[in-house]
Amino acid sequence: MPTETLLILAPTFLIVGALYASVGHAGASGYLAVMALLSLAPGVMRPTALAINVLVAAIALTQFARAGHFSWRLVWPFLVASIPMAFLGGTISLPDRPLKIAIGIVLLLTALRMAAMAYRKPVPAGTPTATRPPALPAAVATGGVLGLVSGLTGTGGGIFLSPILLLARWADTKRTAATSACFILANSLAGLGGLAKAGWTPKPWLAVLAAAACVGGLIGASFGSRRATPRTLNTLLAGVLLIAGAKLILG
């Protein structure tokens, strides 16, 4: 990778890692957006996003778990099918154009989700939220579908799991963040394993990007495990993802 590109990506990945980790995510869709704007090849984008996802998701999970928001009972049904499906997705090599479209769709959906989060009516602090655990078949099916999507597109799937958890009232905001972090970590590892089986090997420059993202992830997760995500940050993220997604789909 050219040094000039690396110098742009490193600080940007730090910022993306901080923003996403603040809500329990690892930033794959953000990393994909930045790499898309710099016109990196899809074959480089997917493993890079997954590899960094593993590290940042681990940091986010640790911080939210330390704050008391993690529940293994809630997480495991989603992982039963998502892990093998993410591995399967990672072994599938799509031609460049279909892969660009698939990643673009992921980014556009993510942008819509970010915008919805930014402009939804805020819930007053201290307001109790009634939640119920998901039925086992629903959780397993949801995990399987999102696992396949995560492996194919180079994301951890948490960007889709989070709104499902919240809309279905399967978890409150903080527990959703912790659950998503664990889900992303497991699926990213599985997807990366599939890519490795297909012949991918890490490049030396990946260590630079990973270090930058981890610093950002530590800052964001420490902040986010105790506070809500500001509306402005979600709006900015939605704008970047929208531009990058449209760029990929339209070519």
For the segment 153-174, what is each residue's pLDDT rounded down to a tens digit?
778 888 788 888 888 889 887 8
Q: Are 53 and 28 in contact (CB under 8 A)?
A: yes
Q: Quote the pLDDT of residue 56.
A: 94
Domain-embedded: residue 52: yes
Tell me the C-alpha distance between 90 and 46, whole Å: 9
Instruction: Give me the residues of the chain with pLDDT under 50, please.
Output: 125
Q: Quote the pLDDT of residue 67.
A: 86
Residue 60 structural domain: 3-120+132-250
Q: Quote the pLDDT of residue 116.
A: 79
Q: Quote the pLDDT of residue 48.
A: 93
- The beta strands (E) that lie in the chain are given as none
Tell me the C-alpha distance between 107 and 123, whole Å: 27
For the segment 57-106, what is each residue's pLDDT rounded down to a tens digit?
999 999 889 988 899 999 999 999 999 998 998 888 777 778 778 888 88
Domain-embedded: residue 215: yes
Domain-embedded: residue 127: no
CB contact burial 121-155 (16+ within 10 A = b; e otherwise): eeeeeeeeeebeebeeeebbebbbebbbbbbbbbb
Q: Rounded to 5 degrees, what are φ and ψ at 92?
A: -85, 125
Alpha carbon 236 to its chain's center: 16
Domain-embedded: residue 45: yes
Cβ neighbors of 101 (< 8 A, separation 6 or more) are: 248, 249
Q: Rounded to 5 degrees, what are φ and ψ at 195?
A: -65, -40
Q: Quote the pLDDT of residue 159.
A: 79
Domain-embedded: residue 125: no
Show the 3-state SS of 76-140: HHHHHHHHHHHHHHHHCCCCHHHHHHHHHHHHHHHHHHHHHHHHCCCCCCCCCCCCCCCCHHHHH
Tell me the C-alpha distance between 57 and 29, whole Å: 13
Domain-embedded: residue 9: yes
Domain-embedded: residue 176: yes
> In the chain, how many domains are there?
1
Helix axis angle, 231-250 to 96-119, nearest 10°:
160
Q: Quote the pLDDT of residue 35.
A: 92
Domain-embedded: residue 126: no
